[in-house]
A and B are shown apart, each in its own frame.
Chain A
Amino acid sequence: MADHNGGQSGSTDAGTAVEPSVPRTVSSGTAVVVQDGIPNPGHQPHRLRVTDLDPKKEKEASRRVSGLFFLSLIGSVAAVVFYFVFPIDPSNLASVRINTLSLGVAISLGLLGIGIGAVHWAKALMSDAEITEERHGTRGSDATRAKAVDVFTLGNKESGFGRRALIRNSLFAALAVTPIPAVVLFRDLAPAEEPGELLRHTMWDKGVRLTRDPSGTPIKASDVTYGSAFHVIPDGLNEEEDRLEQKAKASVLLMRLRPEDLIEPDEKKDWSYQGIVAYSKICTHVGCPVALYEQQTHNLLCPCHQSQFDVSDQAKVIFGPASRPLPQLPIAIDDEGYLVAQSDFHEPVGPSFWEREL
């Protein structure tokens, strides 16, 4: 190793020297150039393994490796056997588990046997002598670079790319514009209507009954006891073609508080009915359903990002990332005593968007 190290040690100080075959000097920036560094001690003597020294151990290792490969064989065959021996029985859910477990364990035995065997082979039996390979600077040699420059110069000369400015610039312009049709083609990813308008309307309208989610049975005011909360959808939603899109806007939570607990501004005094209030269930943050109602504190909690809304005070935000109160659905009762909407929401429900207040 002395011969190898001899050529290197002068330039190995602090392990930062540039590859010596590049004669060019490269700035080392603010790196300190070491004058008094410790010399690289060079390669250390190779240490033999127990399998190199003891033929018995070598034989054992070799048996272990082939044993592992045989184990893999057993695993792979077992996997095929298990596939047929442990089928899925539709009437027995446990069969799914047994199928998954037996197949998976057998296949992993097939894989691990090969893997551990091969690594063991490499570590115990293959040569573990370290070999040194010289690096060359990543940069091409000066001659190569000169040739490359020639290629471009020649290409430029023969095509007139640099000289014929009109051709070149018109090509650039054409190339820049060609992708635009590809972008325009994607317009029909969405239907023609203006999306902003769709977000302003829900299925709620004057006289639409409040019904239970998901059964769709109407709710009488007398069913709503103090402290209870109902998950509500508009009547007829389940029959809609675009059921989920409508539900994503029209879901409502219905709660009854003691009327004296409710703080209501004058213009919304008649939006509730005997302490029964209805608020949009779609969070004004990013639109998760605000599904958790805490009846003691009258707080609604969004399970996604923990925004909290105070139902007793117009569903205002009291904690969390949401900004706006949940929109309130004005309700009343119809002739049969069922709860109905007085109108649609008076503002867009769900997450904020740029044109929301227009």
Chain B
Amino acid sequence: MSTATETPVTTTEPSTTSTAYGPFASPTRGARFTGAAANYIDERTSISGLVKEVGRKIFPDHWSFMLGEVALYSFVAILLSGTFLTFFFQPSMVPVHYEGSYVPLKGIEMSAAYASSLDISFDIRGGLLMRQVHHWAALLFVASIGLHMLRIYFTGAFRKPREINWIIGFVLFILAMAEGFTGYSLPDDLLSGNGLRIIDGMVKAIPIFGVWVSYLLFGGEFPGTDVVSRFYTLHILLLPAILVAALGVHLLLLVINKHTQFAGPGKTNGNVVGVPVMPVFAAKAGGFFFIVFGVIMLIAATFTINPIWNYGPYDPSPVSAGTQPDWYIGFADGALRLVPPHLEFLVFGDYTLSMNILLPLLVLPLFLGLVAFYPFIEAWITGDKREHHILDRPRNTPVRTAIGVAGVVFYAVLWASASSDLIATHFKLSIEGVIHGLQALFFLGPIIAYIVTKRICFGLQKKDREIALHGFESGRIVRLPGGEYIEVHQPLSDAERWRLTSYTDYEPLMIRPNSNGKITATQRLRAGFSRWFFEDRILPVSKGEIEASHHGDDH
């Protein structure tokens, strides 16, 4: 392969490299068969070109790179278990009388969807297992996407040329939540029905069209007899089709852009250092798929999730205390809970404007919009048009990291709010106190998180600088002939120092008049943002400083 060059180090291991390049050294029967089969396929597909191009593609290694893999593999587990479920599930709200094995619900009127979900759970061998695999894998899917996004954000992997892939990943995140919600609603149990009821109430609050949207969604009045079959089509056809397409583009762009890597000795912005797809990465990634699937299977075998038989069929009247959505919808539900009372107004005469619902409906897209467009905002502020393939350590971009942590805290407060009642009962607090506390945290939490994170980043950067210049504290105290005590510092190897000191440094933008001699408002805004981002900064260690410090340490 012309693009991959073996490092000279590998020549010390002739045994491994020679087998890698000489697959048909001895014409055994197996080798002859492989050769013939490969020839047959290649003469019909010219697949050898593809193999040559990607077969020895290099993937850098870091534990955090596996989060996206977890998402991908849990999605495969979802597809497999979901396909099994479709063979038994009846997406219909036709009322039936339950005649299955679960005695407490025998003879009760319910929808065919709920009855078939019970049958999957109680009358089909492995059915409950597959239901639980599907649900656990879905929870893991959204969770791993979220963590993967955080990894991308905090290491700056969204920078040029990967902004588009960030957007596609964001779309995948939204699709995953939509898949989760539509799937959660399908069994038509009491809990999911209440979830739909909340959606109905939120939709109705939309000005002008709200009632119509709800009416079209439910095929008439809530709950109607259509929503399960409609969600089923969305859940198993439309959303997965879009998701798979977006996922394909996501992975294709990953291959085209090549993976990012952390700074390290020998690693530059112009190369990628790691293991080749064939065989190491393929074995690791392929093996990891089985591990992810196996762990999901083990969890599904041992931990109950969504015991729909405990909830009963959907009925608009009963509800149990402490009901909660699946975790990834929590932030939206929490946002609904934090709104103070009486935020409903009449506008244009007699039209009802329900700000108690519209406020969360506006704040959440605003938050998600900031997440989606952050790469473009930061690129505009820095004005840096270069490609970036070396990842940032979060401490070296203090403001970005602080914004990210503030966002995480913002999300976490909303998420905790979805459990406000459980927090109150578990910690013996009043529900009003918990809500008021969370309302305060909603505003203060992100600000405090921002300030604290920024300070921690600066602290870590200063420590890195100290270590790069003077070495590690060795803990060895030495008494000098003059009686003075000093602690001996262990010097750093070049490789270690490189890891600590190689990062991009930006300075605040100087406002300059443009060609017309004017300073535009956008220029001022950009300079303001730039000051916010880069005014406080710790400079990377320079060669001169290292030499000076060595000189100082010499005595």
Contacts and interface: CB of A to CB of B under 8 A. Distances in A.
A30 B508 contact: yes
Interface centre among A43, A90, A127 (most CB of B within 10 A): A127
B211 A14 contact: no
Contact of B268 (A28, A40, A100): A40
A248 B269 contact: no
Given A324-B344, A352-B344, A31 B222 contact: no
B271 A111 contact: no
Contacts of B57: 133
Interface stretch (A44-52, A154-162, A268-276): A44-52
B385 A245 contact: no
A337 interface: no
B270 interface: yes
B115 interface: no
Contacts of B273: 43, 130-133
Interface stretch (A254-262, A303-311, A338-346): A303-311
B274 A88 contact: no
B327 to A, nearest CB: 17
Contacts of A27: 383-386
Interface in A154-182: none
Contact of B497 (A14, A38, A242): A38
* Size category of the binding interface on chain B: 35 or more
Contacts, number: 467
B290 A112 contact: yes
B555 interface: no
Nearest to B262: A15
B125 interface: yes
B263 interface: yes
Contact of B129 (A20, A100, A121): A100
* Size category of the binding interface on chain A: 35 or more
Nearest to A302: B319
A214 B128 CA distance: 30
Interface in A3-50: 3-5, 8, 11-21, 26-32, 34, 36-46
A184 interface: no
B523 to A, nearest CB: 13
A226 interface: no
A351 B200 contact: yes
B28 interface: no
A353 B271 CA distance: 58
A96 B204 contact: no
B383 to A, nearest CB: 3
B212 interface: yes
Interface centre among A91, A248, A304 (most CB of B within 10 A): A304
B495 interface: yes
Given A16-B388, A122-B283, A323-B344, A357 B352 contact: yes
Interface stretch (B36-44, B213-221, B235-243, B442-450): B213-221
Interface string A113-141: 01111111111001111111111011000
Contacts of A90: 101, 122-123
Q: Chain A interface mostly helix, strand, loop or mixed?
A: loop
Contact of A87 (B125, B257, B265, B341): B125
A93 B103 CA distance: 9
A28 B385 contact: yes
Given A245-B222, A353-B211, A186 B216 contact: yes
B208 to A, nearest CB: 6
Contact of B341 (A88, A107, A133, A317): A317
Contact of B504 (A15, A42, A247): A15
B549 interface: no
Given A4-B5, A134-B270, A31 B506 contact: yes
Nearest to B261: A15
A288 interface: yes
A114 B73 CA distance: 15
A269 B263 CA distance: 77
A318 B432 CA distance: 10
Contacts of A350: 201
Contacts of A111: 290-291, 293-294, 297
A115 B128 CA distance: 24
Interface stretch (B332-340, B398-406, B471-479, B514-522): B332-340
B423 to A, nearest CB: 11
Contact of B13 (A42, A45, A129, A291): A129
A128 to B, nearest CB: 7
Contacts of B45: none
A153 B240 CA distance: 38
Interface stretch (B179-187, B310-318, B366-374): B310-318
Contacts of B292: 115
B375 to A, nearest CB: 14
A326 interface: no
Interface in A309-358: 317-324, 350-358
B378 to A, nearest CB: 10
Nearest to A247: B316
A30 B37 CA distance: 56
Contacts of A40: 265-268, 498, 502
A26 B390 CA distance: 17
A112 B297 CA distance: 10
B487 interface: no
B365 interface: no
B207 A286 contact: no
A265 interface: no
Nearest to A356: B352
A198 interface: yes
Interface in A69-102: 83, 87-88, 90-91, 93, 96, 99-101
A317 B194 CA distance: 21
Given A17-B270, A40-B268, A131-B7, 5 more contacts: A31-B504, A34-B540, A286-B357, A289-B318, A355-B351
21 contacts: A29-B385, A36-B543, A36-B544, A37-B502, A38-B541, A100-B126, A100-B128, A103-B129, A115-B287, A122-B280, A132-B4, A134-B5, A244-B314, A245-B224, A248-B223, A291-B319, A303-B322, A304-B198, A306-B421, A321-B341, A322-B341
